Amino acid sequence: MTANFADRLIWATRLKQTPLIVGLDPRSDRLPIKLRPEDPENLKSLAESFRQFSCEVIDVVAPLVPAVKPQAAFFEMLGPAGMTALAAVVNHARSRGLLVIMDAKRGDIGSTAAAYAKAFLGHDSPWGCDALTINPYLGPDTLDPFVESAKKQGAGLFVLAKTSNSGSSMIQDLIVDGETVYAKVATLIQTLSLQTKGEGDYGCVGAVVGATYPEQLAELRSKMPNAILLIPGLGAQGGTAADVAAGFDDHGLGAVINSSRAIIFAYENSMYAGFANNWQRAVEQATRDTIAQLAAETNARRLLG
Amino acid sequence: MTANFADRLIWATRLKQTPLIVGLDPRSDRLPIKLRPEDPENLKSLAESFRQFSCEVIDVVAPLVPAVKPQAAFFEMLGPAGMTALAAVVNHARSRGLLVIMDAKRGDIGSTAAAYAKAFLGHDSPWGCDALTINPYLGPDTLDPFVESAKKQGAGLFVLAKTSNSGSSMIQDLIVDGETVYAKVATLIQTLSLQTKGEGDYGCVGAVVGATYPEQLAELRSKMPNAILLIPGLGAQGGTAADVAAGFDDHGLGAVINSSRAIIFAYENSMYAGFANNWQRAVEQATRDTIAQLAAETNARRLLG
C-alpha cells in the first residue's frame, strides 16, 4: 500500500522546508543556447532538448523543493516524441526523489475519465505520476473515477477551482443563489478532500487556485480546510509571495506554490546576470531566492522549525 | 491556404451523404479475439493492438462516413507507446480521406492553450488533426489561442457546451440571470462561429452537445445558428436517432453525430451474430444501419439528394 498523497506531499514539504514547487514548461526559444537543437523544426531533436533541459532543471532543484509540475502541453506540442520525452522527465524526477504533479487539466465522462486516471495516477501507471490536475466543468460524476483511482494508487488530484487568467470570471465568477461557481466547486472539492483524508488534516483531492486573486485565495482557504491548494502564477504570471500568504494554514501547510518560468529561465533575468555562463546556477539561485521570499512573507516560515 | 474547416466538414458530409462520424475508443477487453495481445499488461503490445484495430475500423468506415473521432484518453492510457499509436491512427485516417476530430477536451491558459493548439490543429501540426474538442471552464481568453490557430490552419474546434452525463447539471445547468451556464457558453460559441464563418453558414468553432437531452439540443441549435454541433452519445450512451433530430438545420446540415462503441464493437451485438467470424463486416453493417436510422428519423435524409 502507498501512503495517502496528501501525507506524502506534506512530508516532502516538511523535509525540504518549503512549499515551493517548480513548473517544467520548456519553450524552444527560451532554452539555454547550448541546449537548443540545430534544427528546431525537427520535433525529435527538440523533444530531446526539452528532455535534457527538464532533467537538468530537476537535478538542480531536487535537493531544494518537494515536487515538480511538468506542463503536459509543451511536450504534447512535439507529438509522440514529446510524449516520450515527458515520460523520461517524470521518471527522472521520481529517481531524484521528487513528487511529480502532472499539469494536464484532463477531464471527461465515465470510462474516459477512468482511462485518464489509469494513464497518469500512481507509480505503476504508464506515466507514473503522483498527482494530476483535472477540470470540473463536466460535473462531479466525472471526478469520481479520478478520485477512486487516486485513493487506490496513493495519488493526488488538483481540481481547477479558480484560475489565474483574466477571463476566468466568465464561468467561475458567475453568482448563483448568492454564491460563485468557483465557491460551489470548492464545496465539492472540500467534500472530496474530507472523504480522502490521510493521517493529517488534508485529503488527496486538492484545488488549483490562481495567485492573482489574493482575496479569493483567503475565501477558498477557509472554504476548503481539508484541501491542499496548488497555487500557480507566482513570478512570471504576476503573483508575489505576499499574494499567496493567505493560502497557508497556521503551520505553513495546506498549499504548494508553483513557479515555472521565473525559475527555469532565470538565466535570462538581469538579476542573475552573474551566472550568465552557467544557467543551472541561475536556476538554483532563483529557487533559493523564491524559497526565501516565501519564508519571509508567508507562514511557510513555520516549516523552518 | 486550407479551406475553412466548417466548409470541409460540410463537403465531406455531403459527399458521404451522412452526418455520422465514428468514434475510435479502443478497449483491451473488447477487442476482437484475434487482435488481443498475448500479454495485455505489455503496453507496447497493447498499443500495437489498438493501432491495428483502429486502422482496420478506419478501413471499413472510410468509404461510408465523413470523419472519425479518436478518443485521446484510451491511447494516453498506454503511455508513450499509446501516443505513438495514436499518431499512426490519425495518419491512417487522413490517408483514407477521413477528417480527424481529436477528442481530447484540452484547455489551459494563454501560452499553454497555444501549445495545445499547436500540438493538434492542422495537417502540419505534430498530431495533424482537422479539429479538436476543448473545455471552456477557464474562460473565453483561453479559447482565443485555439481560435487563432484554427483560423490559420484551416482547422476546427468543438467547445464543450452541454455534456451527456447526468452530473453535467452541476455547473452547466446553473441559472444566472434567467440563463443557464451552458446557454452562456453557447452565446460565446455562436459569436466565435460567426467570426470564423466559411463559405457556408457555419464557422470553424462548433459545440459539443450531448444527445441525452433532446430539448436542450433544440434550444442550443437555435442559440447557435452558425455553429456545427458535435453530438456524442448515440448508441451505447443511450441516445437514439430521433433524439438527435433537433440538432440539424433544414438542409440536414449543422450537426455531426458520433457513435463509438455501438459501431466499433458491433461484433459483440447479437444483432450482428451472423458476422461472428468477421468483426469488420459487423462494423460495416452497424455503420450502414446507423446511417439508415439517421436518414429515417432526421433531416439527414436531405443529404441523400
With a cut of 80, say whether residue A237 has pLDDT above it. Answer: no
What is the domain class of A5-296 according to CATH? alpha beta
Q: pLDDT for A157-203, tens place per residue?
A: 999 999 989 999 999 999 999 999 999 999 999 999 999 999 999 99
CA B283/CA B58 separation, integer angstroms = 10
Specify the CATH architecture of the domain B5-299.
Alpha-Beta Barrel (3.20)
With a cut of 80, say whether residue B146 has pLDDT above it. Answer: yes
Greatest Cα pair distance, chain B, in angstroms, is 57
A230 has which bridge partners?
A208, A256
DSSP A75: H
Within 8 A of A118 by CB-CB distance, chain B residues are 77
How many CB atoms neighbour CB B137 within 10 A?
25
Within 8 A of B40 by CB-CB distance, chain A residues are none
Q: pLDDT at position B284, please? A: 98
The C-alpha R_g of chain B, in whole angstroms, comes to 18
How does residue A211 score in pLDDT terms, banded at 50, 70 and 90? confident
Q: pLDDT at position A214, please? A: 82
Residue B203 identity (one-letter amino acid): G
Catalytic site residue from B16, B34, B44, B105: B105
How does residue A64 score in pLDDT terms, banded at 50, 70 and 90? very high
Among A2-11, A12-21, B21-30, B269-278, the range scoring the smallest mean pLDDT is: B269-278
Q: pLDDT for B84-97, tens place per residue?
A: 999 999 999 999 99
Q: pLDDT for B101-124, tens place per residue?
A: 999 999 999 999 999 999 999 999
Q: pLDDT for B152-194, tens place per residue?
A: 999 999 999 999 899 999 999 999 999 999 999 999 999 999 9
Q: For B43, which residue in chain A has the nearest alpha carbon?
A: A126
Q: Mutate which of B44, B69, B105, B158 to test chain A, going by most A C-beta atoms within 10 A?
A: B105
How many CB atoms neighbour CB B215 within 10 A?
8
Query: If DSSP codes are grouped into helix, strand and coil, which group holds residue A98?
Result: coil
Among A20-34, A209-223, B217-231, the range scoring the smallest mean pLDDT is: A209-223
CA B103/CA A95 separation, integer angstroms = 33
The arithmetic mean of pLDDT across residues B63-79, rounded, is 98
Cell of A149: 483511482
Flag if A171 and B171 touch (Cβ within 8 Å). Answer: yes
The arithmetic mean of pLDDT across residues A273-293, rounded, is 93
Flag if B107 and A184 touch (Cβ within 8 Å). Answer: no
Of residues A110, A171, A174, nearest to B136 (C-beta): A171
Flag if A163 and B109 touch (Cβ within 8 Å). Answer: yes
The arithmetic mean of pLDDT across residues A110-139, rounded, is 97
- What percent of chain A shows pLDDT beyond 70? 99
Burial class (CB in 10 A: 0-12, 13-18, 19+), A166: middle
Q: CB within 8 A of A15, min separation 6: which ones?
A: A66
Query: If DSSP codes are grouped into helix, strand and coil, which group holds residue B178?
Result: coil
Q: CB within 8 A of A222, min separation 6: which ones?
A: none
Residue B212 identity (one-letter amino acid): T
Of residues A43, A109, A126, nearest to B164 (C-beta): A109
Whats the size of chain A, residue-wise? Answer: 305
Cell of A95: 529517481
Distance from CA of A140 to the nearest CA of B (A): 6
Query: If DSSP codes are grouped into helix, strand and coil, which group holds residue B227?
Result: coil
Query: In this predicted model, which residue has the larger pLDDT, B99 or A210?
Result: B99
Active site residue A44: no
The arithmetic mean of pLDDT across residues A87-108, rounded, is 98
Please name the residue ranges forming H helices in chain B.
5-16, 43-61, 72-76, 79-95, 110-120, 144-153, 169-172, 181-195, 214-223, 261-264, 279-297
Flag if A168 and B76 touch (Cβ within 8 Å). Answer: no
Query: In this predicted model, which residue has the larger pLDDT, A22 or A2?
Result: A22
The arithmetic mean of pLDDT across residues B252-258, rounded, is 97
Query: In this predicted model, which residue has the larger pLDDT, A218 or A276?
Result: A218
CA B84/CA A84 separation, integer angstroms = 9
Query: If DSSP codes are grouped into helix, strand and coil, which group holds residue B228?
Result: coil
Q: pLDDT at position A124, please? A: 95
Flag if B171 and A181 touch (Cβ within 8 Å). Answer: yes
Q: pLDDT for B207-250, tens place per residue?
A: 999 877 788 999 999 999 999 999 997 876 678 899 999 999 99
**Whether A153 contacts A127, CB under 8 Å:** no
CA B130/CA B228 separation, integer angstroms = 14
How many CB atoms neighbour CB B38 within 10 A?
6
Q: pLDDT at position B5, please? A: 98
Q: What is the DSSP string of A276-287?
A: TT-HHHHHHHHH
Distance from CA of B304 to the nearest CA of A (A): 34
Catalytic site residue from A44, A105, A118, A184: A105
- Could you state, in order of their start, the residue ranges of all structural domains in chain B? 5-299
Q: pLDDT at position A1, please? A: 61
Greatest Cα pair distance, chain A, in angstroms, is 57
Q: pLDDT at position B1, please? A: 61
Q: pLDDT at position A270, please? A: 93
Within 8 A of A77 by CB-CB distance, chain B residues are 115-116, 118-119, 126
Nearest to B75 by CA among A136, A127, A159: A127
Query: If DSSP codes are grouped into helix, strand and coil, which group holds residue B191?
Result: helix
Q: Mutate which of B27, B74, B77, B181 to test chain A, going by most A C-beta atoms within 10 A?
A: B77
At residue A150, what are phi and psi to the nearest 5 degrees? -60, -45
Query: If DSSP codes are grouped into helix, strand and coil, which group holds residue A69?
Result: strand
Q: pLDDT at position B196, please? A: 98
End-to-end CA distance of chain B: 30
With a cut of 80, say whether residue A238 has pLDDT above it. Answer: no
Q: pLDDT at position B214, please? A: 82
CA A88/CA A275 separation, integer angstroms = 28
E-only strand ranges, A163-304 = 175-176, 179-180, 205-209, 229-231, 255-259
SS3 content of chain B, % helix, strand, coil (to 5): 50, 15, 30
**Whether A136 contacts A171, CB under 8 Å:** no
- What percent of chain B shows pLDDT beyond 70? 99
Cα–Cα distances (Å) from A289 to A18, A215, A285, A295, in that order, read: 12, 25, 6, 10
CA A127/CA A106 separation, integer angstroms = 14
Q: pLDDT at position A213, please? A: 74
Flag if A167 and B106 touch (Cβ within 8 Å). Answer: no
Q: pLDDT at position B238, please? A: 73
Q: For A71, which residue in chain B has the nearest alpha carbon?
A: B112
Cell of A282: 541561475
How does residue A230 score in pLDDT terms, banded at 50, 70 and 90? very high
Q: pLDDT at position A7, please? A: 98
Flag if A139 and B80 touch (Cβ within 8 Å). Answer: no
Nearest 5°: CA angle at B18, between B186 and B200? 50
Q: What is the DSSP string of A185-196?
A: HHHHHHHHHHHT
How does residue A239 score in pLDDT terms, banded at 50, 70 and 90? confident
> Within 13 Å, how many C-alpha atoms sit on residue A144's CB side?
11
Q: pLDDT at position B71, please? A: 98
